[in-house]
């Protein structure tokens, strides 16, 4: 474990590994990675061996698990899923009107998510992968959920944004029902894994499509459902948020929501200064995976130094299939080399 600090304050330089590197290194398609446990297991071993050889103590391999599908909850609710050969699974809307969306969610109130085909599929995939990697792979994982606004938009389709203007009261009802369903799905997943249904400490939320809602509508169409999600999912108030593509005008609403840590991730409209000017919430900062591959050693070092001196203590970058295919893993080594001056 490598430790870093600046002026006596610990700093972290997490490097995140995209899951698309796993099928690449395993010589299989992404569709096989998501659906074939045997090929998935072999691919995970290839990833583990590759990362250990390439980075040594600098970077831990990504932990084996069933391939991450962020739409598990929505697939259970009826969104059709497609598995392209060389891309992640994607879904289509399940309904064609706001009325149908409300009806579908009302009818699914008592759903046992654990009996749905996608859940059964992931339970079996997770079991096999856990058996292959008992010390690293979780008992159940990979089947995910989206936040209230993202779920509402994906389940209904792009016309959801017209519904916001045409049927605001129905949209609020729809979002309340969707948030209840998300909470129920998370509780059932937790119990299936042998964990408390409600997290005793805190919870994270990923809701990128909330950024599509104009700030002036957040008091009515975002904050009530974020708070509903947090209060229904955790007993503690350690509430974190991942929301991409926000603008400075959105940021004052984060504290009103009760968020205590914010991850801007890919948010081109934001800078460190504009985040600080609009919210006092701690946040991390990301050097995008598609930028670092085109940067020189000196540019990476300057980016890191500027971010450290700006007072950011969690400074991230990412890589995956693209960096390997372009033979750009030396840029990740340059990242670690630039961070060395802060090494304890």
pLDDT value of position 223:
98
Host domain of residue 300: 4-21+87-117+145-342
Query: Residue 319 is encoded by which pair of tokens?
Result: 């890589």
Task: Please state, in angstroms and rounded to a whole number, the distance separating the CA atoms of residues 121 and 137.
Answer: 16
pLDDT value of position 2:
86
End-to-end alpha carbon distance in the chain = 11
The verdict on residue 124 lying in a domain is no
pLDDT value of position 282:
97
Number of domains making up the chain: 1
Pick from 125, 112, 105: nearest CA to 188: 112
Mean pLDDT calculated for residue range 61-77: 98
b/e per residue, 150-170, with b = 16+ CB within 10 A? bbbbbbbbebbeebbeebeeb
The verdict on residue 333 lying in a domain is yes
pLDDT tens digits for 273-329?
Answer: 999 999 999 999 999 999 999 999 999 999 999 999 999 999 999 999 999 999 999
Q: Would you call 157 helix, strand, or coil by DSSP?
A: coil
Do the bridges between strand 315-319 and strand 285-287 make them parallel or antiparallel, or are there none, so unpaired?
parallel
Q: How many helices (DSSP H) and strands (DSSP E) are in the chain?
A: 17, 10
The dihedral through the CA atoms of 47, 53, 54, 55 has a sign that is positive
The verdict on residue 326 lying in a domain is yes
CB atoms within 10 A of CB 228: 18
Task: Please state, in angstroms and rounded to a whole number, the distance separating the CA atoms of residues 232 and 147.
Answer: 13
pLDDT value of position 34:
98
The verdict on residue 53 lying in a domain is no
CATH number at residue 295: 3.20.20.210
The verdict on residue 69 lying in a domain is no
pLDDT tens digits for 18-54?
Answer: 999 999 999 999 999 999 999 999 999 999 999 999 9
pLDDT tens digits for 233-273?
Answer: 999 999 999 999 999 999 999 999 999 999 999 999 999 99
Task: Please state, in angstroms and rounded to a whole number, the distance separating the CA atoms of residues 297 and 283.
Answer: 25
Flag whether pLDDT at 1 surpasses 80. no
The verdict on residue 66 lying in a domain is no
Flag whether pLDDT at 91 surpasses 80. yes
pLDDT value of position 138:
97
Task: Please state, in angstroms and rounded to a whole number, the distance separating the CA atoms of residues 40 and 30.
Answer: 9
- Provide the whole-model pTM: 0.96
Task: Please state, in angstroms and rounded to a whole number, the distance separating the CA atoms of residues 165 and 149.
Answer: 15
Task: Please state, in angstroms and rounded to a whole number, the distance separating the CA atoms of residues 15 and 10.
Answer: 16
The verdict on residue 254 lying in a domain is yes
The verdict on residue 271 lying in a domain is yes
- How high does pLDDT run on average in the chain? 97
Mean pLDDT calculated for residue range 107-117: 97
């Amino acid at each position: 474990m490598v430790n870093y600090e600046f002026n006596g304050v610990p700093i972290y330089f997490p490097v995140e590994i995209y899951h698309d590197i796993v099928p690449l290194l395993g010589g299989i398609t992404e569709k096989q990675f998501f659906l074939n446990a045997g090929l998935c297991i072999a691919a995970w071993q290839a990833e583990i061996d590759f990362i250990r050889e390439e980075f040594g103590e600098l970077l831990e391999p990504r932990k084996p698990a069933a391939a991450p599908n962020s739409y598990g909850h929505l697939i259970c609710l009826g969104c059709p899923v497609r598995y392209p050969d060389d891309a992640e699974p994607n879904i289509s809307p399940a309904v064609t009107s706001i009325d149908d969306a409300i009806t579908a969610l009302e009818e699914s109130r008592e759903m046992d998510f654990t009996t749905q085909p996608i859940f059964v599929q992931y339970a079996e995939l997770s079991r096999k992968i856990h058996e292959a990697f008992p010390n690293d792979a979780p008992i159940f994982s990979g089947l995910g959920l989206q936040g209230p606004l993202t779920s509402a938009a994906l389940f209904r389709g792009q016309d959801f944004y017209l519904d916001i203007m045409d049927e605001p009261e129905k949209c609020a009802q729809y979002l309340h029902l969707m948030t209840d369903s998300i909470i129920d799905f998370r509780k059932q997943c937790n119990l299936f894994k042998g964990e408390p249904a409600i997290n005793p400490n805190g919870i994270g939320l990923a809701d990128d499509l909330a950024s599509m809602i104009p700030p002036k509508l957040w008091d009515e169409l975002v904050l009530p459902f974020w708070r509903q999600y947090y209060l229904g999912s955790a007993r503690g108030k350690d509430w974190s948020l991942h929301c991409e593509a926000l603008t400075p005008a959105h940021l004052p609403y984060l504290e009103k929501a009760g968020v205590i840590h914010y991850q801007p991730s890919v948010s081109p409209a934001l800078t460190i200064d504009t985040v600080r000017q609009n919210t006092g919430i701690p946040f991390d900062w990301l050097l995008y995976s598609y930028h670092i591959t085109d940067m020189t050693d000196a540019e990476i070092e300057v980016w890191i130094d500027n971010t450290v001196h700006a007072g950011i203590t969690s400074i991230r970058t990412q890589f995956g299939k693209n960096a390997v295919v372009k033979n750009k893993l030396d840029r990740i080594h340059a990242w670690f080399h630039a961070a060395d001056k802060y090494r304890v």
